[in-house]
Amino acid sequence: MVNIVASAGRNGVHDFILLRASAIILVLYTLLLAGFFVVTPTVTFDIWQDFFACTGVKIATLLALAALLAHAKIGIWQVLSDYIKPPFLRGALQFFFSVLLLVYVAAGFLIVWGV
C-alpha cells in the first residue's frame, strides 16, 4: 500500500466533499448579498451598517469566510502539488499561503465583530 505524504492525512473524497460544501456555502452567501441588493432600493452606509450589525449576517459572513479558507487551502495545495516539483519550495509556498489565509480570516473576524 502506498502512503501519500502530500495529503497530510486527508484523502481525495474528503477534499472533494469539502470543496463542494464550501462552494455551496459561498453560493448561499452570494445569494444573501444579492438578495439584500435586490430588496433594498437605495443602499446607504447606514443601511449597509445595519445589515451587517445583524447577528445572523455576522455568522453567515464568518461561515462564508471559513468556507473560503477551506476552499482556497485545498485549491492552493492542488495547484502547488501539480506545478511546483521541488519539495522545499512547495512546502515553503504552502506555509506562506497558509499563514496568509489565516491572516485574512483573523482580519475578517476583527472586521465583522469590530473587536
Residues annotated in a binding site:
71, 83
SS3 22: helix
Structure pTM?
0.81
- Residue 47 and residue 113: Cα distance in Å, rounded? 17
Whether 2 has a pLDDT exceeding 60, the answer reads no
Binding-site members for heme are 71
- Rounded mean pLDDT of 20-35? 96
Provide the sign of the torsion angle of the four alpha carbons 105, 108, 113, 115, taken in this order. Answer: positive
> Binding site for a ubiquinone: what residues are annotated?
83
**How far is the C-alpha of 19 from the C-alpha of 12, rounded, in Å?**
10
Q: Which three cell numbers stand for residue 49?
A: 451598517
Q: What is the mean pLDDT of residues 36-40?
A: 95
Q: What is the pLDDT of residue 113?
A: 86
Of residues 18, 112, 100, the one with CA closest to residue 59: 112
| Angle, CA 60 vertex, CA 18 and CA 80 arms, to 5° | 35
CB 109 within 8 A of CB 115: yes
In the chain, domain spans: 5-113
- Using the structure block, give the residue that is written with the C-alpha cell 470543496: 19
Q: Does domain 5-113 have CATH number 3.40.50.12280?
A: no
